[in-house]
Amino acid sequence: MSVLLSVHDLRAYYGQVQALHGLSFDLNEGSMTTLLGANGAGKTTTLRAICNMVRSTGGIQFEGKPLNGKSTENIVRLGIAHVPQGRGTFTTLTVEENLQLGAISRKDTKAISSDIERMYAHFPVLKQRHTQQAGTLSGGEQQMLAVARALMLRPRLMLLDEPSFGLAPLIVRDLFNILGKINREDKVSILVVEQNAQLALEIADKAYVIETGRIVMSGNAKEIANDESVRKSYLGY
Domain boundaries of the chain, sorted by first residue: 3-79+155-235, 88-154
Phi, psi dihedrals of residue 188, rounded to the nearest 5°: -95, 120
What pLDDT was estimated at residue 229?
79
pLDDT in tens, 142-167: 999 999 999 999 999 999 999 988 88
Is 80 exceeded by the pLDDT of residue 236? no
* CATH class of the domain whose range is 3-79+155-235: alpha beta
Q: What angle do CA 191, 195, 63 make, to 5 degrees?
A: 10
Over residues 111-133, the mean pLDDT reads 95
Is 80 exceeded by the pLDDT of residue 114? yes
Is 90 exceeded by the pLDDT of residue 107? no
Percent of the chain's residues with pLDDT above 90: 79
What pLDDT was estimated at residue 86?
73
24 and 31 Cβ atoms separated by less than 8 Å: no
| Confidence (pTM) | 0.92
Over residues 213-220, the mean pLDDT reads 95
- In the chain, the N- to C-terminal Cα span, in Å, equals 31
Is 90 exceeded by the pLDDT of residue 99? yes
Angstrom distances, CA of residue 58 to CA of 35, 49, 70, 193: 19, 10, 14, 20
